[in-house]
A and B are shown apart, each in its own frame.
Chain A
Amino acid sequence: MPRIVAKEHLCLGCRLCEIHCMVAHSRSKKILKAYSQEKDALSPRILVEDAGRVSFAVQCRHCENPQCVEACIAGAMSRDPETDAVLCDTDNCVGCYMCIMVCPAGAVLRSKKGKVVSKCDLCAERGLPACVENCPNEALAYVED
């Protein structure tokens, strides 16, 4: 199962992962255009937490028994049988936030685009996740086990 691993001791707390996550999920995929035209609709699906000198980035853990999938009243959350990623079909999501209630990592977030949730999709269209590719200190790694 592919996963993104965060390395707390390497994280600078620069939040570039958040920026690149938003760009990767923008329509234009261009940082300047995304910022100038789509800023209000975009929110990162990765969250940098920091306290004092400690920081790390967290996104969906794509759990083995995903509680968000079990709690989803709309059948919108599911595990992709091919990639094993836990994905949200935003056409079916009704924004009940049951997934937010049960995610033990607090990694499902409200989307700015109306009543739906926003979560890491492992950059399914992209290959290497944007947060991993753009982390300047290799504090994020993409592993498949």
Chain B
Amino acid sequence: MSRIDTKYLIIGNSTAAIAGIESIRSIDEHGGIILISSETERTYSRPLISYLLSGEIDEKNIFYRPADFYEKNKIRAFLGCEAIQVADETRTVFTAKKDHIHFEKLLIATGGAAIVPDIPGAKSDGVFTFLTWKDASGIRKFVQNRKAHNAVIVGAGLIGVKLMESLLALNLKVDVVELASHALSMMLDENAAELAHTKIAGQGVNLHCNTTVAQILTQYDVVSGVRLENGARVDCDILIFAIGVHPNIDIVKDTGIKTDRGILVDERMQTSAPDIYAAGDVTQGYDFLFGSSRPIPIFPNASTQGRIAGVNMAGGDQTFLSGMAMNSVNVFGLPIISVGFVHPSGADCEVLTNLDAAKSTYKKIILRDNRIIGLILVNDIDRAGIYTGLIRSKLDVREIRGQLMTNNFGLITLPKEYRKHVVSGMGIEV
């Protein structure tokens, strides 16, 4: 047991943690930084594990930053070291190795943990989740060693869909079970999902919607299949849960740090305790489109939150007020982008759509009070960011409404004043 002192302590080694470190270093070049991570690998990209499992990328391409990242940024990285408990009043973090690390500023970026339902058989051999590099290696080894042929994925969200691609690349037959009425239900409406379903079915994947796993079937404590709530039985020799993540908040239990589903953060990414910040999937921050706080476990949110937290930890003052859900996914060659509030409810929402099933293209824009609040684009995605910018800036689009759905929508469609704003006074002079 030893006592260690540091100016900055970062718990976590993924997107939010790295963004936090980079922004601290942009302000404070020399202040001591310790990073602790329960994982043993140097920083890698979690979303790339599906590409690694499929063989689309090599291990050397999974790293999120170059090999000299810690050295260049003067980071003491304690890898394979689990943080057990934060003591907010004494500004200490206790580790599994019984070290006490005393900090001046703390960033909690512990991410999320994969959800596994509490049903009998969930701990059997052959049952996996898919969140970490270790998960991907475990699945690969299991498939090879046991010569697995049939896989069941529970959950057809972003992770489930990317996992389909990986498992097909490993020559498995894939069944997917989804509780909602369609795949990617958080991101897509029925029209967009139908285009995705066509792609998925074209790959020979069986998608079972509107149902879930009622029972895990095992033989000698090894998974052998699942029985679904709709009565169907699907045999399999590997079962993977991809039904979402919950914020890893255990580390702050019994402290003054306020939590709900995640660690509550303000617009400066500070928790309810002074000098303790949180960023990424562990947090519950403000979603400006919902007008309330909720976990938004998406990649760009984690990196922006990390950057804001880092600036404020190093003595700056920045806020993040435009948190919202967004994602981009390539479903077997069909690019799909979804931003903001895509499930309009209430009479105050207006919806514009344009579907061309023959070309597999779809565009949907959701408006409220003459502002764009949601966007779905399928296939024709190239100018998506301009719409995202309009959502973030809450621009009144009354005057350009007629052009929002046209094919030549672009910066040229936008009011001159906004165009100037996009290019920050430089670039397109008007």
Identify the A interface with B (CB < 8 A): 3-9, 47, 49-51, 54-56, 58, 61, 63-65, 67, 70-71, 73-75, 91-92, 94-110, 115, 143, 145
Q: Determine whether the beta carbon of A71 is less than 8 Å from that of B61.
A: no
CB distance from A3 to the nearest CB of B (A): 5
CB distance from B386 to the nearest CB of A (A): 4
Q: Determine whether the beta carbon of A8 is less than 8 Å from that of B430.
A: yes
Q: Determine whether the beta carbon of B48 is less than 8 Å from that of A102.
A: no
Tell which of B113-121, B252-260, B366-374, B409-417 binds the partner: B409-417
Known: A3-B427, A91-B61. A100 touches B48 (CB 8 A): no
- In Å, the complex CA distance between A55 and B411 comes to 10
A49 cross-chain contacts in B, Cβ below 8 A: 408, 410-412
Q: Report if B389 contacts A (CB, 8 A).
A: yes
Which one of A9, A51, A101, A110 contacts B326 once the chains associate, using CB atoms below 8 Å? A101
- B145-173 interface (Cβ within 8 A of A): none
A104 cross-chain contacts in B, Cβ below 8 A: 385-386, 388-389, 392, 422
Q: Determine whether the beta carbon of B427 is less than 8 Å from that of A58.
A: yes
Q: Determine whether the beta carbon of A94 is less than 8 Å from that of B65.
A: no
- In Å, the complex CA distance between A73 and B56 comes to 15
A54 cross-chain contacts in B, Cβ below 8 A: 412
Known: A91-B61, A100-B382. A71 touches B299 (CB 8 A): yes
A109 cross-chain contacts in B, Cβ below 8 A: 382
Known: A8-B429, A67-B385, A104-B388. 4 other contacts (CB 8 A): A73-B299, A98-B299, A101-B328, A104-B392
B410 cross-chain contacts in A, Cβ below 8 A: 47, 49, 106
B404 cross-chain contacts in A, Cβ below 8 A: none
- Chain B 240-280 per-residue mask, 1 if CB under 8 angstroms from chain A, else 0: 00000000000000000000000000000000000000000
- In Å, the complex CA distance between A7 and B426 comes to 10
> Could you say which interface size class chain B belongs to?
35 or more
Q: Determine whether the beta carbon of B57 is less than 8 Å from that of A94.
A: yes
A73 cross-chain contacts in B, Cβ below 8 A: 45, 47-48, 299
B429 cross-chain contacts in A, Cβ below 8 A: 5-9
A7 cross-chain contacts in B, Cβ below 8 A: 429
B92 cross-chain contacts in A, Cβ below 8 A: none
A65 cross-chain contacts in B, Cβ below 8 A: 307
- In Å, the complex CA distance between A43 and B389 comes to 24
Q: Is the interface of B mostly helix, strand, loop or mixed?
A: mixed
- Chain B 59-71 per-residue mask, 1 if CB under 8 angstroms from chain A, else 0: 0010111000000
- In Å, the complex CA distance between A137 and B299 comes to 42
Smallest CB-CB separation from A139: which chain B residue?
A: B429
B1 cross-chain contacts in A, Cβ below 8 A: none
Q: Determine whether the beta carbon of B412 is less than 8 Å from that of A56.
A: yes
CB distance from A33 to the nearest CB of B (A): 27
Q: Determine whether the beta carbon of A106 is less than 8 Å from that of B385.
A: yes
Smallest CB-CB separation from A96: which chain B residue?
A: B328
14 contacts between A and B (CB under 8 A): A4-B427, A8-B428, A67-B300, A67-B385, A70-B304, A74-B48, A75-B64, A98-B299, A105-B386, A105-B389, A105-B427, A106-B383, A106-B386, A109-B382
Smallest CB-CB separation from B413: which chain A residue?
A: A51
Q: Determine whether the beta carbon of B328 is less than 8 Å from that of A100.
A: yes
Which one of B51, B64, B388, B426 contacts A101 once the chains associate, using CB atoms below 8 Å? B388
A64 cross-chain contacts in B, Cβ below 8 A: 424
Q: Report if B234 contacts A (CB, 8 A).
A: no
- In Å, the complex CA distance between A63 and B389 comes to 13
Q: Report if B112 contacts A (CB, 8 A).
A: no
- B357-392 interface (Cβ within 8 A of A): 381-386, 388-389, 392
Q: Determine whether the beta carbon of A95 is less than 8 Å from that of B388.
A: no
- In Å, the complex CA distance between A76 and B65 comes to 9
Q: Report if B329 contacts A (CB, 8 A).
A: yes
Q: Determine whether the beta carbon of B428 is less than 8 Å from that of A56.
A: yes
Q: Determine whether the beta carbon of B56 is less than 8 Å from that of A61.
A: no
A115 cross-chain contacts in B, Cβ below 8 A: 330
- Which of A8, A75, A91 has the largest number of chain B CB atoms within 10 A? A75
A105 cross-chain contacts in B, Cβ below 8 A: 385-386, 389, 411, 422-423, 427
Q: Determine whether the beta carbon of B47 is less than 8 Å from that of A70.
A: no
- In Å, the complex CA distance between A106 and B414 comes to 12
CB distance from B26 to the nearest CB of A (A): 11
- B42-85 interface (Cβ within 8 A of A): 45, 47-48, 51, 56-57, 61, 63-65
CB distance from B378 to the nearest CB of A (A): 12
Which one of B300, B327, B383, B412 contacts A70 once the chains associate, using CB atoms below 8 Å? B300
B296 cross-chain contacts in A, Cβ below 8 A: none
